[in-house]
Structure 1
Amino acid sequence: MAYDSGTGWQYEVPTSGSKRLPPAARYMESLTHQGYGFEAAIADLVDNAIDAGARNVVVSFLRDDDRLVSLLVIDDGHGMDDETLDVAMTVGGRQGYSTTALGHFGAGLKAASLSHADALTVISRTKRSPSTGRRWVTAQAQSDFTCDIVDARYCQDLIDRYDGVIGWHGTIVRWDGVRSFSTVTTGQTDRYLNETIERLETHLGLYLHRFLSRPDFHIDIVVEDVRTRAELDHRGIEAIDPFGYRVPGRAGFPRVYTAPIEGVGKVPMTAHIWPPKSPLVAFRGIGPLAERQGFYIYRHDRLVQAGGWNGTRTGETHHNLARIAIDLPSQPNDVFSLTVKKDGVNVTPAFARGLEQAVDDAGNTFPAYLADAETTYRDAARRSTEIQRKDVVPPGKGLPPKLKRTLRDELPQLEGEDPVIFRWESLPSEVVFDIDRDEHVVRLNKEYRQAFNGDRRAGSNDAAVLKGMLYLLLEKNFRLGRSSAQRDDEMALWNSVLVTAVRCELER
């Protein structure tokens, strides 16, 4: 009934026609204020590469002396032709995502990029079409929605520059006018890059850990000299599995609980209890523990929420060991909804009701699981008699990512300390290394580099055994600050032994 004479209320709003009202060009400005964090924005671009079938993705920071000039995300996915690229660069233009696609709203490429850069350029090629490119410049787009067509010669030149990644097909996303780059003061570029890359390593390693655990998918972060094309830093991203403990904190876990959720059906949830006081990066290195307890929600193997209780309960310290993995149902539903930035999931009260009824195969309830996690935490707090390793200055650039990860897993890190970095330089023949305490640098004698690399190609993360041993031996010199006669004598001894050992190797 359209009109109720008793209440006088019109239940349906009458209309007399329709009118098309496209968005104003100023709508582009809203894309720059979506609240994307830097790491989440890069992750969104990697999602696009995964959807395009990429096996290799490279995030490249381009540096000119002490100045950061651009950022590129390069992938070897199937690429785009002119028509497909036009759709990709249209706000909301993507239609009909596949059932396994990580993309969702058709705005990620533009919103993620323009949240951080004044200009977005996308260049792509397929097996059957030549390289092509489009460019959004924020100031221009805000006035009339004009998107530039990139010169064909430049498109091919850039594709050729990165043919080691792209090969016959792939895509390059280029950010210019990156706003955070302009805030880096003179002399602080190394520190900015190290901190930014560390955060990016952790974010990508965590949110894409299921993909990174596959043998055929890789993400690398490089810092490239824009003039010489030399790699100033190169780090391969390692998976950070939020459930990657060696032994569970309580016998009988993990357990699978099934929650009957109205409007969805039976939803399996894998409940874990972490071992107490774990030093692993996957436990301690991904943020405050109070924020990392709770639900880890996946959509098509991509982590979209890393912790939190979605309003079902309040986070408490004694639940720090409780983590639950949930894979979102593939069919559309009204209970779970993904945020635009893919950094969380909204739920309806039906989810909380389903939790209270969740049980495992043996009939154990979900509230009983939380009690088990709490008991495990409290029992460990009462024992607390194990040997404590001293906090160390964190390892930094020059160490292979896997070695760096192990050092961080095994040794608690000092907060706010500049990391220890390793560099090959020209040094006197009578030493293999020396240190700069103020700059936190271990200098290695490049005259002896071959002795540690053999026939392997030299690179920024080479000589892992030497660097690992020296880190363990020398770290205290950076932590304790000023030199002492005893520590100086130790270093002189180590240099004497190492020089003799190296010369023995070179004489063979």
Structure 2
Amino acid sequence: MTTIINTVEVQPDARRMIEGLRDTGYKFNTAMADIIDNSIAAGATLVDIRIIMDYIGDITIYIADNGSGMDEEGLINAMRYGSNERPDPGSLGKFGLGLKTASTAFCRSLSVTSRSAGNGTVLKARWDLDHVSIQKWNLLFLNPDQEEMKLLADVTEGGAGTIVTWEKVDRVLKTYSEQGGTYARRALERIQESLADHISMVYQRFLDPSYTDANNVIIRLNEKAIEAWDPFCSQEPYTEVVAERRQEVELPDAQTTTSFFIKAYVIPRKEQFSSEEEAKKAKLTNDRQGFYVYRENRLIHYGDWLGMFRNEPHGTLLRVEFSFDHTLDDAFNVDIKKSNILLNDDLYNWLKDQFLPAPRRAADDRYRKGVNKGVGKAAKGAHDGSNAGIGSKEKAVQMANIEVTDEENNEVEVTNKKGRFKIKLPLIESAKEGEVHVTAVDSVDDGLLWEPCLIDKHHAVRINTSHPYYHKVYVPNLLSGVTIQGMDSLLWAMCEAELGTINDDTKYYIKELRYEVSKLLRKLVEDLPEPDINNGD
């Protein structure tokens, strides 16, 4: 056993440490959310954000709230890197670093101005990175400026509250030749639009007055209130809850248990929404599908499948709520930015293999029904060349003679080199002139990709446009006549070979072969990109 003979306190180099902590990987929206977290943790019912660019292009950002405010001791603690743990373990503030690291990721001067309840004194403290670089870990106390005093009065109506001020903002906008010019201002407008969108999603449960499990908060950006965005479109008539479960979890100390809640929603297709405006609000994009993970009612991660599946268009309609409280922070390895979680193997496998398969099928079915309209439109006329090409050689390559014996029951008699046999075969009248050898249909029994049939007594093949192979292989090539004719000819030839070799002993196995090939193709094309077909358009 090693014996300690001495201890030496080693202070980190102030300049290198505070500069290094600027690069913890924050994005602007995530950094702003960390500041809002502190406001909500302080019991604020109003958060007022002002982003101001002056005539020369310098940006100042204020985040003001009417929360509990701080006295001198509380202010010093809040500005400390690694501040004391909050009394409430369910607080949105978690590590005591967010205020500082989130702010200095984008500015070189961070000020906090605050007034506590029952105390009329307004205090202001500042971390100035340029000062720290010279004077070490010196927290500056200053007199609040006129703008901050006015804003504090507006937001708190003379009561308790806090303002976080970012100055020397050097990492929000890229460099423009005209710092305060038109391009810079337009870029800043886009940044503000993105921030409003982020806040409406991350704090949806706090912004929505009808959600009673979270404290209601008004958040304004440049004096405009931000509305909650519901990713699950829960008020839409066609939204369907396809699975939900509250799962008990035993904590490591084995003395207590907690739980998480999971709920899967299949949202409407574009044309199923109650209005075009609601469809637009739903943001039916590839990057909004997947898990929506909430910690203490605050969204911390969204828009993917946590590594279980790739984001693809057929998953666009499936959104899964995953909610837990602070007791599972360690179990889910919540990161410093509160923007991600890490699942253990047992939970990962349970979600992937047991909970999600049924919701994924339901979402896929709804998506396919909408996509099939688009496929039918896109495929119109795509098989004309195949019909003409096969028709010119039909008699020369036929391997069997087929006579209809019972039209009502789709029964035919096949004569081939093996003999004469009775089978059932789909009997179809041509949907349009000339389409008598290849026809694309919405579905085929058992999910088969193709099956032989008779169209106006011609030997033909039905191709299932609902099969993933059609979506991912056929659709991207619909404008390539040679490719389509080549694939159609292959499937028609397989049908003809089936009819030319079938007998009573093999007819079951031949259909089984089609089923297995169709299943294998479904699996093989999983990782192929899916064409973007507008639902209902």
TM range (shorter): 0.5 to 0.7
Offset at 1:90?
0.6
Of 106, 123, 139, the match for 1:132: 123
Give the aligned partner of residue 201 of structure 1: 196
1:271 aligns with 2:271: no
1:81 aligns with 2:71: yes
Provide the C-alpha distance between the structure 2 equivalents of 1:114 and 1:302, rounded to a whole number of angstroms: 23
- Say if 1:13 and 1:332 are closer, same or farther in 2 by CA, change over 3 A: farther
AA aligned opposite 2:357:
P
CA contact (8 A) 1:335 1:350 kept: no
Give the aligned partner of residue 230 of structure 2: 241
Q: Deviations over 1:349-399 (max 9, x none)?
A: 1221332575xxxxxx53122111111111211134999xxxxxxxxxxxx
Give the aligned partner of residue 26 of structure 2: 36
Of 106, 112, 134, the match for 2:96: 106
- Say if 1:198 and 1:56 are closer, same or farther in 2 by CA, change over 3 A: same
1:110-125 aligned at under 5 Å gives the runs 110-125=100-115
Offset at 1:149?
1.0
Structure of higher CA gyration radius: 2
Offset at 1:266?
5.4
1:191 aligns with 2:186: yes
Offset at 1:128?
2.7
Provide the C-alpha distance between the structure 2 equivalents of 1:235 and 1:109, rounded to a whole number of angstroms: 24
Query: The residue matched to 1:149 in structure 2 has which SS?
Result: strand
Moved more, 253-262 or 375-384: 253-262
Gaps of 5+ in 1: 1-11, 223-233, 359-364, 388-508
1:244-259 aligned at under 5 Å gives the runs 244-247=233-236, 249=238, 251=240, 253-259=241-247
Q: Deviations over 1:433-489 (max 9, x none)?
A: xxxxxxxxxxxxxxxxxxxxxxxxxxxxxxxxxxxxxxxxxxxxxxxxxxxxxxxxx
1:150 aligns with 2:156: no
CA contact (8 A) 1:254 1:272 kept: yes
Provide the C-alpha distance between the structure 1 equivalents of 2:335 and 2:83, rounded to a whole number of angstroms: 18
Query: The residue matched to 1:20 in structure 2 has which SS?
Result: coil
Provide the C-alpha distance between the structure 2 equivalents of 1:205 and 1:375, rounded to a whole number of angstroms: 30
1:366 aligns with 2:356: yes
Give the aligned partner of residue 305 of structure 1: 301
1:10-409 aligned at under 5 Å gives the runs 18-25=7-14, 26-65=16-55, 67-129=57-119, 130-143=121-134, 144-151=136-143, 154=144, 158-166=148-156, 167-179=158-170, 180=172, 183-184=175-176, 185=178, 186-214=181-209, 216-222=216-222, 234-247=223-236, 249=238, 251=240, 253-259=241-247, 267-277=260-270, 289-332=285-328, 334-356=330-352, 358=354, 365-384=355-374
- Say if 1:244 and 1:61 are closer, same or farther in 2 by CA, change over 3 A: same
- Say if 1:134 and 1:268 are closer, same or farther in 2 by CA, change over 3 A: same
AA aligned opposite 1:271:
A
Computed over aligned residues only, the root mean square deviation of the Cα atoms, in angstroms, reads 3.0
Provide the C-alpha distance between the structure 2 equivalents of 1:112 and 1:353, rounded to a whole number of angstroms: 34
Provide the C-alpha distance between the structure 1 equivalents of 2:101 and 2:280, rounded to a whole number of angstroms: 31
Query: The residue matched to 2:294 in structure 1 has which SS?
Result: strand
Offset at 1:327?
1.0
Query: The residue matched to 2:366 in structure 1 has which SS?
Result: helix
- Say if 1:254 and 1:287 are closer, same or farther in 2 by CA, change over 3 A: same
TM-score, length basis structure 1: 0.64
Gaps of 5+ in 2: 211-215, 252-256, 378-537
Offset at 1:242?
0.9
Offset at 1:188?
2.7
Provide the C-alpha distance between the structure 1 equivalents of 2:258 and 2:114, rounded to a whole number of angstroms: 42
Query: The residue matched to 1:121 in structure 2 has which SS?
Result: strand
TM-score, length basis structure 2: 0.60
CA contact (8 A) 1:61 1:68 kept: no
